[in-house]
Structure 1
Amino acid sequence: MARRQRPAPPPAAPPAAELLTAPRTFFERLRTAEPRVWRYGAPVLLAALLAGVLYALLLRPVVAVAAGAEHAAPAFTAHVTNAFGTFFLTVLGAGAMVGLGTLGAGRAGRAAEVYGATFVVLPPLYLLLAVLLLVWPGPEATAATPGTDLLTAQRAALRAVVQTPLARLTVLVLLLAPFAQFALAYWGFLTLTGNRRRALLGTLLTLLPVLLLTALGLAPLLVAMV
């Protein structure tokens, strides 16, 4: 009696880091792997966490101005609030990418995996900028004295922050980083669907909402630059 052969296991999905070195190979391997919606959730969370850290580091001089002022939040609480706000908006943007990407590229586009994997390009950039912000001397901040207009003092500190080249570079990277993701996502959708129109829809439908969310998170810094 012939022995029944076991079905071959599906090919393993590529690690997200492979997208940095071999995008074409990455999406070709992903196409043959079994779909898993949460497969590349870790890069999303890591990028969101580092984006929050970057934003909190940028606003350190502003928080320092409020230190000790009456009715001002403690410095630690202010830093956590700043970091969490950017973390939340980044995760919300990732959700918009998945929802609108699926609407445009269809289920075959596997938007959750494609966009989730594209977040792997962000942590190296964000980590480098975070280290530079920690070691590079920023604008000096003086805590607000009792009786001074705290809001005016914070606005002045914010304007001082955005005048530094490193802060401007950080804001620019945070604004332009999604474009690198969209370029990679288009390549992924085209590989997975084989349809140029669906690949364009899966990319372009998410473009404006994600850019608006990014600008919303950076609004205080962008306004101070004007």
Structure 2
Amino acid sequence: MARRDRPAPPPPPPDAPLAAELLAGPGAFFARLRACEPRAWRYLAPVGLAALLAGVVYALLVRSTVGLGGEGGGLTVHATNVFGNVFLTVFAFGLMAGLGYLGAGRGGRAVEVYGATFALLPPLYVLLIVLLLVVPAPEVPTSGATPLDVQRVALRTLGQWSLSRAAVVLTVLATLAQFALAYRGFRTLTGSRRRAWLGVLSPLVPVLLLTVIGFGPLIAGMF
């Protein structure tokens, strides 16, 4: 009896690229991602890391204002400053993923695309953290008519600090770079320029506003 040939087993699914590989080549990254099964949770780790580091950056920027004017707080205030920016970063990602999905459609895989773009942020935040730890902050006033007045003057002083300005500008530029990378991803995954633009433009303004809100007290002190 002739022996029947067994069908060859299907090839294993390709491995998804690591989020860090996006920095080496967006085109190759999204081409590999297109061949992988969608997984909404795939690139959530870069989001969480970027959110935590964003909180640390802000807490370090305003650390010299904690406890001014006789107010307490200490560690609790530092933790609140960290958590506030962690929340804003995660909320910004939610807007990116939600509005990006509405714009680019299911095929755009907005959660994965925008999650991967957060790989841009940790290197920037680590650099800022190092600079904030080694560069002396400007002296801020420690007395005034009221604790609120002291806080306002201190934030105005920090707002004029070159490192504060650099942190704001670099964060905004990095956010814009995320949207540029997301456009490339949506274009590759959907094959439609219209879908790609909708996936990027829908969350662009709200996310930029959240970025400004995150630095709000410092930005107010710049003017």
Q: Indicate the residue corresponding to 2:36 in structure 1.
A: 33
Q: Is the 8 A contact 1:64 1:141 kept in 2?
A: no
1:201 matches 2:204: no
Q: Deviation string for 1:101-121 (max 9, x for gaps)?
A: 000000000000100000001
> Which residue of 55, 58, 69 maps to 1:55?
58
AA of the residue aligned to 1:44 = V
Q: Indicate the residue corresponding to 1:192 in structure 2.
A: 189
1:97 matches 2:100: no
AA of the residue aligned to 1:94 = F
Query: Hey, what's the Cα distance between the residues in 2 that align with 1:144 and 1:11?
Result: 62
Q: Is the 8 A contact 2:46 2:118 kept in 1?
A: yes
Query: Hey, what's the Cα distance between the residues in 2 that align with 1:129 and 1:100?
Result: 29
1:115 matches 2:118: no
Q: Is the 8 A contact 2:159 2:221 kept in 1?
A: yes
1:173: Cα distance to partner? 1.5
1:7: Cα distance to partner? 1.8
Q: In structure 1, list runs of 5 or more residues that go unmatched.
A: none
- 3-state DSSP of counterpart to 2:139: coil
AA of the residue aligned to 2:190 = T
- 3-state DSSP of counterpart to 1:34: coil
Q: Is the 8 A contact 1:119 1:181 kept in 2?
A: yes
Query: Hey, what's the Cα distance between the residues in 1 that align with 2:202 and 2:105?
Result: 12
TM-score for the superposition, normalised by structure 2: 0.94
TM-score for the superposition, normalised by structure 1: 0.93
How is 1:81-92 mapped onto 2 (pairs within 5 angstroms)?
81-92=80-91
Q: Indicate the residue corresponding to 2:137 in structure 1.
A: 138
Query: Hey, what's the Cα distance between the residues in 2 that align with 1:5 and 1:144?
Result: 79
Query: Hey, what's the Cα distance between the residues in 1 that align with 2:5 and 2:112?
Result: 40
- 3-state DSSP of counterpart to 2:204: helix
Q: Deviation string for 1:89-133 (max 9, x for gaps)?
A: 000000010000000000000000100000001100110011001
Query: Hey, what's the Cα distance between the residues in 2 that align with 1:209 and 1:164?
Result: 27
AA of the residue aligned to 1:97 = M
- 3-state DSSP of counterpart to 1:101: helix
What is the root-mean-square deviation in Å for CA atoms of aligned residues? 1.4
1:19 matches 2:6: no
How is 1:4-15 mapped onto 2 (pairs within 5 angstroms)?
4-15=7-18
Q: Is the 8 A contact 1:43 1:116 kept in 2?
A: yes
1:157 matches 2:160: no
Q: Is the 8 A contact 1:65 1:141 kept in 2?
A: no
Q: Is the 8 A contact 2:140 2:157 kept in 1?
A: no
**Displaced runs of 4 or more, over 4 A:** 142-145
Query: Hey, what's the Cα distance between the residues in 1 that align with 2:58 and 2:9?
Result: 52
**Which is further off, 211-220 or 126-135?**
211-220
Q: In structure 2, list runs of 5 or more residues that go unmatched.
A: none
